[in-house]
Amino acid sequence: MRTKTLKCSSVLDHICNELDTKISSRKCQEIRRHLARCPNCTAYLDSLKKTIRLYATYPHPHVPAKNRKKLLAVLKLSE
Amino acid sequence: MSYEKHSPMPLSELELIRQAQRGDERAFTRLVSHYESLVYGFAFKVCRDKELASETWQDTFVNVYRKLHQFDGRSKFTTWLYTIVVNNCRMKRRKSKLEVASVSIEAPGGFHDTRGTDDEGRGAQTTIPPWKETPLDAVMHSELKGVLDSAIQKLPMDYRIVFILRDVEGLSAEETGRILKLSVPAVKSRLRRARVFLRERLNPYMTT
């Protein structure tokens, strides 16, 4: 049986929204089949995941020590 | 600092909040100790500037001190806290030039079906170059660090905050919606546009 044709743009709309959810619906199964055979969509999905990972693992600096002293002074509290 | 962002609040923590609400200054300073890294980290990720992050940090804890009696315990304390930080970030944006360099995100990039494939793989033609693997320690000492900063600073504030809450802080779409007073579909729409926007800006540096 011939399967329904999925366009890459439709696939990408969906994977962008559901990147972090389990894909189990019928639509998602179609997308999984498409991804298995489409190098473009696979590369695009991988790049989106890497974008997220780069930002998620980008370390932030520590809270400057002077901040707390300044806050307590503003609120007139003692340590 | 190790901090379990999304676990239910332990009873002792709720008790700490109750004590602080009754005016116990030591309980309040312990609350500051517990959440200072979360608040500073989030503010820094939004502002991308240490000075602005410190100002937002202070404004947030001053607000917490003055409004703690309004926290009724029905939502997670972190949800309430993120809401205050977001409001302070938005106020900072209005007062400063945080978003001057932002660009329109209404028509994000992506690729189109110029030569798409169907489920049988017909018409397959690779036009999207794969991205290289980039270990984090390499990122932190490379040109890419500046690219990451520049890209997210160009992302409009409302989209930036959604991206950071969902993909960096790991909050659910529902919680993000409660913080930003947005519907879940609106959160998803903004997140999708933010992800594509950032991906497009990193693309030239990740494919060579």
pLDDT digits (tens, 9 = 90+) for B157-192: 999 999 999 999 999 999 999 999 999 999 999 998
The residue among A34, A25, A44 whose CA lies nearest residue B192 is: A44
Picking from A9, A37, A51, the nearest residue to B113 by CB comes out as A9
Tell me what pLDDT residue B208 has: 65
Query: What pLDDT score does A67 carry?
Result: 95
Query: Per the CB < 8 Å rule, is B117 touching A34?
Result: yes
- Separation between Cα atoms, residue B26 and residue B41, nearest integer Å: 23
Q: Give the separation between CA B14 and CA B191, rounded to whole angstroms.
A: 32
pLDDT of residue B9: 57
Q: Which two tokens stand for residue B138?
A: 């390499």
Query: Choosing among B61, B63, B131, B162, which should be mutated to test the A contact, i.e. which has the most A CBs within 10 A?
Result: B131
Mean pLDDT, residues A46-56: 92
Question: Nearest Cβ partner of B131 from A5, A13, A46?
Answer: A46
pLDDT band at B11 (very low <50, low <70, confident <90, very high): low
| Among A34, A47, A78, beta carbon nearest to B199 | A47
Q: Is the dihedral of CA B150, B90, B159, B37 positive or negative?
A: positive
The residues near A37 (Cβ < 8 Å, ≥ 6 apart) are B117, B119, B120, B121, B124
Q: Taking residues A39-51, report their average pLDDT.
A: 90
> Which residues does chain B have within 8 Å of residue A78's beta carbon, measured at their own beta carbons?
25
By C-alpha distance, the chain A residue nearest B165 is: A56
Question: Are A71 and B117 an interchain contact pair (Cβ–Cβ within 8 Å)?
Answer: no
| ipTM score for this prediction | 0.83
Q: Look over chain B and give the mean of its residue pLDDT values, rounded to a whole number.
A: 83
* Residue B136 predicted with pLDDT over 90: no
Q: Averaged over A22-39, what is the pLDDT?
A: 78
Residue B191 and residue B166 in contact, taking contact as beta carbons nearer than 8 Å: yes
Contact list in B for residue A79 (CB cut-off 8 A) is 29
What is the model's pLDDT at position B4?
Answer: 39
Look at B195 and A51 and tell me if their CB atoms are within 8 Å. Answer: yes
Q: Which of A67, A76, A77 to mutate to test the interface with B (most CBs of B within 10 A)?
A: A67
Rounded to 5°, the CA angle B178-B184-B185 comes to 150
Question: What pLDDT score was predicted for residue B121?
Answer: 47
CA distance linking residue A35 with residue A45, whole number of Å: 9
Residue B131 CA to its chain's centroid (Å):
24
The token pair that represents B10 in the structure block: 């332990």
Residue with tokens 């933010």: B194
Whether the predicted model's global pTM rises above the 0.90 cut:
no
**pLDDT value for B105:** 63
Instruction: Tell me what pLDDT residue B13 has.
Output: 83
Residue B88 confidence (pLDDT): 94
Q: Encode burial over B189-201: b for 16+ CB neighbours within 10 A, e otherwise.
A: bbbbbbbbbbbeb
- What digits encode the pLDDT tens for the residues B25-78? 999 999 999 999 999 999 999 988 899 999 999 999 999 999 999 998 888 999
- Partner-chain contact B136 A57, CB within 8 Å: yes
Percentage of chain A exceeding pLDDT 90: 29
- The residue ranking higher by pLDDT, A24 or B109, is A24
